[in-house]
Amino acid sequence: MELYFNAASAISPLGSFENESISLQPPDRALGYFVSREPDYRNTIDKKLLRRMSKFIKMAVAGSVDCLAAAGLEQPDAIITGTGLGCLTDTIDFLQQMNENAETLLNPTAFMQSTHNTASGQIALLLGCKNLNITFSQKNISFESALLHAKMMLNGDGYRNILVGGIDEITPESHGLISQTSCMRKFEGEYPVTAGEGAAFFILSNRQTEKTLARFDGISIFNGAAADSSFSDSFSRFFDESCPDADHFDLLITGSHPSDEVYHLLSEKTGDQKILRFKDYCGEYDTSTSFALWLALELIGGRVEGSPGSRPERVLIHNQGSGPCHSLLKVTAC
């Protein structure tokens, strides 16, 4: 069954929300990490509700509401999100309260909003949506897991439009911990890796409409180092099935680093001129693939200024995080 992306919305360091077009200019690295250029949430969320929302929840709610509006939907048939670290701001607030108040007289709000499924729950409450609601938290394949689950559901009966999203935020505290550990790969020189954040939402449907942005051609998730034969087999299988003719492959958007072994494998398959490194614009975070997918849809729609080459019709997305997990997605203009 063919599946389609009928709407997309993102809040990112590129300032992508509610803009008709964006410019591919790397964000400011002054803080040592990328932060999202947040919109005026009062245009999307009731001011009374905003008071109790952290940035994580604001980005998720605003992105989902905007995405549904773009698709012309009031409610989705299901809400499926992915997040690697969840609502960090409320988690940190709650832990600080525990420490400062000797674990007594704690405000429950921060605790209730610190769980990973807070975003999807808040979206459902705002929409009054009582349909299926799932949150995946599988590190750097959290969004891919959500997207794969939505794909399987739409191939069955009873579902037509599913809201799928990926959300992660960064705080000074979390960036400090990331910098001290091996949670994020570290590269210096010409291509430094910068931590980031963002939220991106999509309407995935088994029905094509006049609002359709692109066709969803497939997704694959696999483990292994680039030197392993199993990795090469998995990669080549998906590549050959999705893009049997390299001349018909317009662009590859990757989260790999030029010093990675897999980057050289990609270069051999596509040529350097067909590769765009998306983390130069959003940073490294667990659900950054959602930004890459949104960027691919924008490129296909011709809404990106300064994009490499001509307007692509077939885009392959590859991502890898600090672990051995890799993911591949393909979207095609309709």
| Mean pLDDT over each residue of the chain, to the nearest integer | 88
* Of the candidates 69, 327, 324, 288, the residue with the CA atom closest to the CA atom of residue 193: 288
Distance of CA 323 to the CA centre of its chain: 17
State how far the alpha carbon of 270 is from the alpha carbons of 274, 278, 327, in Å: 6, 16, 17
The last residue of a domain, from among 176, 205, 234: 205
Instruction: Grade residue 189 by pLDDT with cuts at 50, 70 and 90.
Output: low
Residue 79 token pair: 């809400």
Q: With 90 as the cut, is the pLDDT of residue 147 above it?
A: yes
The last residue of a domain, from among 178, 205, 232: 205
Tell me what percent of the residues of the chain surpass a pLDDT of 70.
91
Instruction: Grade residue 136 by pLDDT with cuts at 50, 70 and 90.
Output: very high
The last residue of a domain, from among 160, 184, 205: 205
User: By the 8 A CB rule, do 136 and 78 touch?
Assistant: no
Across 92-101, 126-135, 193-202, 275-284, least confident range? 92-101
pLDDT in tens, 17-29: 877 678 888 888 8
Instruction: Tell me, yes or no, whether 243 and 136 share the same domain.
Output: no
How would DSSP label each residue in 222-280? EE--TTSHHHHHHHHHHHHHH-S-GGG--EEEE---TTSHHHHHHHHHH-GGGEEETHH
Instruction: Tell me, yes or no, whether 222 and 197 share the same domain.
Output: no
E strands, the chain, are: 3-11, 22-23, 78-82, 132-136, 161-168, 198-205, 214-223, 251-254, 275-277, 304-305, 314-320, 325-332
294 against 263, higher pLDDT: 294
Residue 37 token pair: 């250029």
Instruction: Tell me, yes or no, whether 50 and 177 share the same domain.
Output: yes
Q: With 80 as the cut, is the pLDDT of residue 236 above it?
A: no
Q: Which domain holds residue 250?
A: 214-332
Instruction: Tell me, yes or no, whether 180 and 230 share the same domain.
Output: no
Whole-number pLDDT of residue 188: 58
pTM, whole model, 2 decimals?
0.93
Instruction: Tell me, yes or no, whether 199 and 218 share the same domain.
Output: no
Whole-number pLDDT of residue 174: 87
Residues 6+ apart with CB under 8 A from 83: 116, 119, 135, 136, 137, 142, 166, 167, 168, 286, 287
Instruction: Tell me, yes or no, whether 46 and 162 share the same domain.
Output: yes
244 against 199, higher pLDDT: 199
Whole-number pLDDT of residue 152: 96
Across 3-12, 79-88, 254-263, least confident range? 254-263
User: Of 153-162, 187-196, 305-314, where does the model show the most confidence?
Assistant: 153-162
Tell me which residue has tokens 């605790």. 111
Domain count, the chain: 2
Instruction: Tell me, yes or no, whether 168 and 309 share the same domain.
Output: no
Across 24-28, 170-174, 245-249, 322-326, least confident range? 245-249
Instruction: Tell me, yes or no, whether 225 and 127 share the same domain.
Output: no
User: Of 10-19, 213-222, 257-266, where does the model show the most confidence?
Assistant: 213-222
Instruction: Tell me, yes or no, whether 291 and 315 share the same domain.
Output: yes
Whole-number pLDDT of residue 190: 63
Instruction: Tell me, yes or no, whether 198 and 220 share the same domain.
Output: no
Determine the average pLDDT of the residues in 123-135: 96
Instruction: Kindly report the CATH number assigned to the domain that includes residue 181.
Output: 3.40.47.10
Instruction: Grade residue 227 by pLDDT with cuts at 50, 70 and 90.
Output: low
Instruction: Tell me, yes or no, whether 90 and 196 share the same domain.
Output: yes
Whole-number pLDDT of residue 229: 65
Determine the average pLDDT of the residues in 62-67: 97
- Exposed/middle/buried for residue 126 (C-beta within 10 Å: 0-12, 13-18, 19+): middle
How would DSSP label each residue in 42-75? GGTS-HHHHTT--HHHHHHHHHHHHHHHHHT-SS
Distance CA 134, CA 119 (A): 10
* Of the candidates 139, 136, 197, the residue with the CA atom closest to the CA atom of residue 165: 136
Q: With 80 as the cut, is the pLDDT of residue 185 above it?
A: no
Instruction: Tell me, yes or no, whether 88 and 22 share the same domain.
Output: yes
